[in-house]
């Protein structure tokens, strides 16, 4: 196939802009600390670090207390990252360095919590007001902070489930861990709750809660639900500006989980928001397909499975995104609730804000309807579930798939479903939820009537169906068959949304160029993960990878089949062949001394996890431009020209690229 070149997006005028001097670095580097101040902070940091190390050992026999250690580690990380990554910023008015007092306070709070843990208790877990908590992310093991506003009415030991609202913040390139935690300790909420929790997610800095930021949303909710009585049927997602964009995508991709979705402003897609068509910008075919991962516009019909309350300032340019969502819903017969602040720019108008609060409060008080009729669309098995329907296989990824499903409640009970681009699905219902189905009930899928299994095996109905040669039948997917599944569907960037380990090579490379390229790329990927996605990558030598690592994590393999011992074990089981003689992608061949393959694939040593060869997250070079440009830039596989530097790799260095098929096979036609 022909090479596809990526236009230089950094030349585009974005609605969310940053200065040209800072375009190459997010977060931007600002002012250096005076040596005396730096020494004082480093001394406090060292002391807290020693306390944390001691507690790791002392609390091994007390798992309940050890589980709370991240509540201390987040303070250590916040100050350490700020010092190591130069994340102190000058106040434009006072000319003083921001966050110095906050850094000292955070070290003191960390020491106090460490002291309390050693004494066998954790009073902050029972406190009300603005609290900061932490958890160890399954992605990289980093202690990640989140803020939670606990109502004054909450008492230790309370078990009655309470409402929880997410609040997603707007874009702030200076939002380091230090600034986030300091702000949350003193912070109010845009929509405070008298008797509910408000959860503020850090989101791995400035990525509109996508990728690692999306996982922060899910992991912080899991952690909060473990430590506080959260009502799973009364959770609301809301935010403004970049946080509004996050609300659109978290709301639409996981609509079945929320009682209400309340976006304020924020983009909903790449093409329209960036005005690419008007600017004549061309993008590779595979990147356009991958817009379907995060473009909320593609998923807007899912919002009929919850309660949507959108807000826009009447004079806000970002109102155009909400208008586009409203128009798209209207074309499908749905009227969107869209509260507009008259003569208002990029902010909440006072009276409109009151109206928004009333509408959202009413929806959350009602709670989500777990048995409602479903209108579900997706483009990937990454987002496979809507309430009681789960899509188990697609006919073709990155094309629209739909399921419309209705429970018949009058007369003969049963389910009626219509689908498109779906190859397998399951019905997931709880008999305890008031489901009206009976053992003799049937499901009709695309006109085919089939039995529903599961009523006699326990409280839950879990009945699965497969489409073969265009006809639906009762049956489960073969669990051992190699095929794209939920969280095992690609593309490359999906590898960095679960536990992963960077595996560096220790052997001699096929040639000098490959060895140097792989080393440089691994260093770049590691640095960018820390800088942009605010975590510390786990790195191991290829000779040190254990069976436990293979069982638990995606392995990011750097090097080639000669230099990387793990890659050598699986090279003959991969669809792309790589030897000293060259790279073979089906019938196409590329020189081994000029090009390298990058790809994601089920690990032959453990097909329940991925392996990735020679790639970090793919949008690193574009992260400064706009949150809306933080989308996958490569599909399941690509062949790259090693002579092209990182800054131009995606614009000039992609020799070939494509997706694997639904059974992870190499397709004859890359498109």
* pLDDT for the residue numbered 8: 30
Residues 255-300 pLDDT 10s: 999 999 999 999 999 988 888 888 888 899 999 999 999 999 999 9
Q: Is residue 45 part of a domain?
A: yes
Q: Is residue 557 part of a domain?
A: yes
> Could you tell me if 442 and 536 lie in one domain?
no
Q: Is residue 481 part of a domain?
A: no
Cα–Cα distance between 527 and 621 in angstroms, integer?
12
Please identify, among 366, 382, 409, the residue that sits at the C-terminal boundary of a domain.
Answer: 366
Cβ within 8 Å of residue 538, ≥6 positions away: 140, 141, 500, 501, 502, 553
> Could you tell me if 60 and 110 lie in one domain?
yes
> Could you tell me if 439 and 539 lie in one domain?
no
In 141-226, beta strands by DSSP E: 143-150, 162-168, 197-201
Which residue, 602, 607, 502, is CA-closest to 559?
502
Q: Is residue 221 part of a domain?
A: yes
> Could you tell me if 338 and 413 lie in one domain?
no
* pLDDT for the residue numbered 6: 34
Residue with token string 């993008």: 283
> Could you tell me if 382 and 356 lie in one domain?
no
Cα–Cα distance between 185 and 183 in angstroms, integer?
6
pLDDT < 50 positions in the chain: 1-24, 457
Residues 377-436 pLDDT 10s: 999 999 999 999 999 999 999 999 999 999 998 777 899 999 999 999 999 987 666 777
Token readout for 315 is: 């004079």
* pLDDT for the residue numbered 211: 97
> Could you tell me if 505 and 460 lie in one domain?
no
- CATH at 287: 3.40.50.1820
Number of domains in the chain: 3
Q: Is residue 144 part of a domain?
A: yes
> Could you tell me if 573 and 451 lie in one domain?
no
* pLDDT for the residue numbered 454: 67
**Quick check: 113 and 137 in contact, CB under 8 A?**
no
State the residue range of the domain holding 608.
492-658
Residues 184-231 pLDDT 10s: 998 888 999 999 999 999 998 888 999 999 999 999 999 999 999 999
Q: Is residue 10 part of a domain?
A: no
Give just the sign of the alpha carbon dihedral 505, 511, 512, 514: negative
In 91-229, beta strands by DSSP E: 129-136, 143-150, 162-168, 197-201
> Could you tell me if 94 and 228 lie in one domain?
yes
> Could you tell me if 528 and 643 lie in one domain?
yes
* pLDDT for the residue numbered 9: 32
> Could you tell me if 436 and 378 lie in one domain?
yes
> Could you tell me if 111 and 215 lie in one domain?
yes
Q: Is residue 1 part of a domain?
A: no
> Could you tell me if 55 and 203 lie in one domain?
yes
Q: Is residue 30 part of a domain?
A: no
Q: What is the pTM of this model?
A: 0.94
């Amino acid at each position: 196939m022909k090479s596809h070149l990526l236009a230089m997006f950094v030349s585009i005028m974005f609605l969310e802009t940053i200065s040209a001097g800072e375009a190459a670095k997010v977060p931007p580097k600002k002012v250096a600390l005076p040596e005396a101040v730096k020494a004082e902070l480093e001394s406090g940091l060292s002391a807290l670090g020693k306390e944390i190390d001691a507690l790791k050992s002392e609390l091994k026999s007390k798992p309940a207390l050890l589980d709370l250690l991240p509540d201390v580690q987040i303070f250590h990380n916040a100050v350490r990252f700020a010092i190591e990554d130069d994340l102190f910023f000058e106040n434009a008015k006072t000319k003083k360095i921001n966050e110095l007092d906050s850094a000292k306070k955070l070290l003191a709070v960390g020491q106090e919590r460490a002291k309390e843990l050693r004494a066998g208790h954790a009073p902050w877990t029972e406190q009300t007001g603005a609290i900061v908590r932490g958890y160890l992310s399954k992605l990289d093991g980093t202690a990640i902070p989140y803020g939670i506003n606990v109502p004054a009415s909450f008492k230790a030991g309370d078990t009655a489930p309470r409402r929880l609202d997410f609040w997603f913040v707007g874009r702030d390139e200076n939002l380091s861990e230090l600034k986030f935690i300091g702000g949350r300790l003193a912070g109010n909420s845009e929509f405070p709750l008298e008797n509910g929790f408000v959860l503020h997610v850090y989101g791995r800095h400035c990525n509109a809660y996508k990728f690692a930021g999306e996982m922060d949303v899910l992991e912080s909710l899991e952690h909060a639900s473990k430590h506080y009585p959260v009502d799973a049927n009364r959770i609301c997602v809301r935010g403004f500006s970049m946080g509004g964009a996050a609300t659109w995508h978290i709301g639409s991709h996981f609509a079945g989980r929320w009682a209400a979705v309340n976006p304020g402003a924020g983009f909903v897609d790449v093409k329209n928001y960036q005005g690419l068509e008007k600017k004549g910008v061309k993008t590779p075919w595979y990147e356009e397909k991958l817009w379907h991962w995060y473009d909320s516009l593609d998923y807007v019909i899912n919002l009929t499975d919850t309660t949507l309350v959108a807000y826009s300032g009447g004079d806000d340019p970002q109102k155009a995104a909400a208008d586009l969502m409203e128009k798209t819903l209207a074309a499908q017969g749905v009227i969107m609730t869209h509260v507009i602040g008259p003569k208002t720019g990029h902010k909440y108008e006072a009276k409109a804000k009151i109206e928004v609060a009333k509408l959202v409060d009413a929806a959350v008080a009602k709670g989500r309807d777990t048995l409602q009729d479903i209108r579900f669309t997706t483009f990937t098995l990454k987002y496979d579930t809507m309430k009681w329907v789960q899509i188990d296989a697609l006919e073709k990824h990155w094309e629209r798939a739909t399921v419309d499903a209705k429970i018949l409640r009058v007369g003969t009970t049963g389910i009626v479903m219509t689908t498109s681009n779906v190859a397998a699905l399951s019905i997931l219902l709880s008999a305890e939820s008031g489901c009206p189905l009976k053992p003799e009930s049937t499901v009709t899928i695309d006109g085919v009537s089939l039995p529903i299994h599961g009523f006699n095996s326990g409280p839950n109905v879990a009945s699965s169906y497969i489409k073969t040669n265009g006809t639906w039948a009762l049956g489960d997917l073969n669990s051992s068959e190699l095929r794209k599944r939920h969280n095992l569907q690609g593309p490359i960037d999906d590898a960095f949304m679960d536990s992963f380990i960077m595996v560096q090579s220790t052997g001699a490379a096929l040639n000098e160029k490959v060895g140097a390229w792989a080393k440089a790329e691994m260093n770049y990927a590691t640095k960018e993960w820390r800088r942009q996605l605010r975590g510390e990558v786990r790195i191991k030598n290829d000779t040190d990878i254990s069976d436990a690592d293979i069982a638990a994590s995606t392995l990011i393999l750097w090097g080639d089949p000669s230099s990387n011992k793990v890659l050598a074990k699986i090279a003959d089981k991969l669809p792309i062949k790589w030897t000293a003689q060259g790279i073979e992608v089906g019938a196409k061949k590329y020189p081994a001394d000029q090009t390298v393959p990058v790809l994601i694939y089920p690990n032959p040593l453990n097909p329940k996890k991925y392996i990735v060869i020679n790639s970090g997250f793919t949008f690193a070079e574009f992260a400064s431009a706009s949150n809306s440009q933080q989308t996958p830039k490569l599909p399941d596989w690509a062949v790259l020209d090693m002579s092209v530097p990182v800054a131009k790799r995606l614009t000039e260095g992609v020799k070939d690229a494509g997706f694997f098929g639904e059974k992870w096979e190499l397709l004859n036609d890359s498109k």
